[in-house]
Amino acid sequence: MARLLVFYGSYRRDRMGIRLADYLVAGFASRGHDAELIDAKAVGLPMLDRMYKEYPAGEAPAAMQALADKIVAADGFVFVTGEYNWGVQPGLKNLTDHFLEEWFWRPAAIASYSAGRLGGARAATAWHGTLSEMGMVVTSSTIGVGQIGHALDADARPLGEGGAALERSFSRFAADLEWWVEAAAAQRARVKPPY
């Protein structure tokens, strides 16, 4: 069983991507993992001023400290991102940027969505480089859900053709992340990370 954090970053009033985040949490739980949703809006960190590491020990805001502890304890991460004007969601990026070393030496997977046909593919591409720079190994399997409102209902149940495509792609997406989680854990147990 792996400890997985599923990050979601929309601050919009009518959030559709939360359906994909909830679907992924349930999907990983059904595979025997401890999966937890980390909702940037609920965590409520301010716009980045000081990173977690820039606070003296014990002086970081409580929400930041709690999230740092969860990140450090996790085996892997899933980033669920919408696409805003060909780019990444500011809420998710802001949350992620509060941390750095806490991310190191764990795998990450990217799931994207949009109201349009492309399923957030451009945001997923942008996230790949960002997460790699932050010390994560990013899996090659991704999920992109287009027309999100027609692919998942309000309870994160698959709908129609888009939902069926999501269900078909989830098992490979999950298996890829699971493989890297196991590989990273084995390597960390064998050799201390170089920095």
In this predicted model, what pLDDT tens digit does every residue of 85-144 receive, in sequence order? 888 899 999 999 999 999 999 999 999 999 988 899 999 999 999 999 999 999 999 999
| Residue boundaries of the structural domains of the chain | 3-190
- Alpha-carbon distance of 90 to 84, in angstroms, equals 9
- Alpha-carbon distance of 165 to 55, in angstroms, equals 44
- Tell how many helices (H) and how many strands (E) occur in the chain: 7, 5
Residue 11 DSSP one-character state: -
109 is written with which tokens?
């997977």
User: Would you state the pLDDT for residue 10?
Assistant: 95
Contacts of 151 by beta carbon, 8 Å cutoff, 6+ apart: 145, 158, 159, 160, 162, 163, 165, 166
The C-alpha torsion from 119 through 89 and 21 to 29, rounded to 10°, is 110
User: Would you state the pLDDT for residue 117?
Assistant: 87
Contacts of 147 by beta carbon, 8 Å cutoff, 6+ apart: 114, 115, 116, 117, 162
Task: Give the model confidence (pLDDT) of 138-178 as tens digits.
Answer: 999 999 999 999 999 999 999 999 999 999 999 999 999 99
User: Would you state the pLDDT for residue 114?
Assistant: 93
Average pLDDT, integer, range 172-194:
95
162 is written with which tokens?
């888009």
Task: Give the model confidence (pLDDT) of 34-58 as tens digits.
Answer: 999 999 999 999 999 999 999 999 9
Is the Cβ–Cβ distance between 143 and 166 less than 8 Å? Answer: yes
CATH number attached to the domain at 3-190: 3.40.50.360
- Alpha-carbon distance of 17 to 21, in angstroms, equals 7
**Residue type (1 letter), 29:** A
